[in-house]
Amino acid sequence: MKLLNALFRSPTARPALVASAALLVSATLQAATPAAPAFKADIARGQQLAAACMACHTADGTRGAPANPILQGQHPEYIVKQLAEFKSGKRRNAIMQGLAAGLSEEDMKHIAAFYASKPAPKGFAGNKDTVALGEAIWRGGIKAKGVPACAACHGPAGSGIPAQYPRIAGQHAAYTEAQMNAFRLGERANNAQMMTIAGKMNEREIKAVSDFAAGLR
Ligand code: HEC
Ligand code: HEC
């Protein structure tokens, strides 16, 4: 106290003391104000980053070659999950693992926002002979085998349920079929539900439901 009084009385010490008190106040204020604003996905940034993807997924994620999934209109959380799992190796694919390796979590969110901002694809079923079987499985599953209805999780119209269940409607039938077989054989092992479901189905059932889903809208 004696020291403080002495300081306040001393004409030379006072300005320094006032300055350090001001510093203290401003430091307290800074700590109270919120840090960086919450992350916001940037569609324009996503489009720039997606230039690296267009050779296979087209410029805006629409219908390209059947082996390459359509990304337009897909739920952004699902896209981010897949990119993160390609990067970590949880979902195995040599091409996509290499591409995802260079993306940060923020990059993935920008890219996902870009594709999700595009209208969902309108597809078509290609095989009349299997539509009835495909529709029955989509809407009702296969009771005798304990296969649940796809519609229960992916929606009656196949548009998925954000954020967990991806859109399947309008996807290339060949891609859907390949993923179902990959789940069935354990080659795609990043989702236990789908591995169990596909594991109870045969190739004919998978082909039929994949073709039916391609035509859903
Ligand atoms: C050389 C071709 C090629 C390039 C370039 C490419 N992809 Fe892919 N992508 C594929 C293939 C093939 C698959 C399907 C992989 C599989 O069978 O599991 C795929 C799958 C995906 C999936 C999973 C979709 C789903 O429905 O599950 C996402 C998301 C994706 N790619 C995003 C990207 C992004 C983002 C880029 C650019 C940074 C990119 N891809 C570049 C070929 C490519
Ligand atoms: C209990 C819920 C549930 C049911 C029922 C279900 N799915 Fe799925 N499905 C999922 C989830 C969750 C994913 C996302 C997996 C991931 O995150 O990688 C998925 C992913 C998929 C994918 C991969 C999509 C892509 O873009 O790569 C296909 C194809 C698919 N499901 C088809 C079907 C079909 C066909 C049926 C009916 C026979 C079906 N699902 C029933 C939950 C379900």
65-86: pLDDT as tens digits: 999 999 999 999 999 999 999 9
Site to substitute for ligand 2 among 68, 142, 176, 197, most atoms within 8 A of C-beta? 197
Distance from residue 50's CA to the centre of ligand 2 (Å): 25
What is the predicted pLDDT for the residue at 8? 45
What is the predicted pLDDT for the residue at 37? 80
Q: With contact defined as beta carbons under 8 Å apart, do 113 and 43 qualify?
A: yes
Site to substitute for ligand 1 among 43, 48, 62, 68, most atoms within 8 A of C-beta? 68
User: 90: which residues sit within 8 A by CB, 6+ positions away?
Assistant: 189, 190
What is the predicted pLDDT for the residue at 18? 44
Q: With contact defined as beta carbons under 8 Å apart, do 81 and 165 qualify?
A: no
List the structure tokens of 9. Answer: 């009385």
Nearest to 138 by CA among 175, 180, 178: 180
CA 66/CA 76 separation, integer angstroms: 21
111 close to ligand 1 (CB < 6 Angstrom): yes
List the structure tokens of 214. Answer: 């391609």
Distance from residue 57's CA to the centre of ligand 1 (Å): 7
What is the predicted pLDDT for the residue at 34? 65
What is the predicted pLDDT for the residue at 153? 98
Distance from residue 79's CA to the centre of ligand 1 (Å): 10
Q: Point out the ligand 1 atom lying closest to the alpha carbon of residue 102.
A: 38
Nearest to 107 by CA among 35, 48, 166, 36: 48
Ligand nearest to the CA of 87: 1
Write out residues in the chain with pLDDT < 50, as ranges: 1-8, 10-11, 13-29
Over the range 101-136, which residues count as b (16 or more CB within 10 Å of their CB) and which as e?
Answer: eebeeebbbbbbbbbbbbebbebebebeebeebbbb
User: 206: which residues sit within 8 A by CB, 6+ positions away?
Assistant: 177, 180, 181, 184, 198
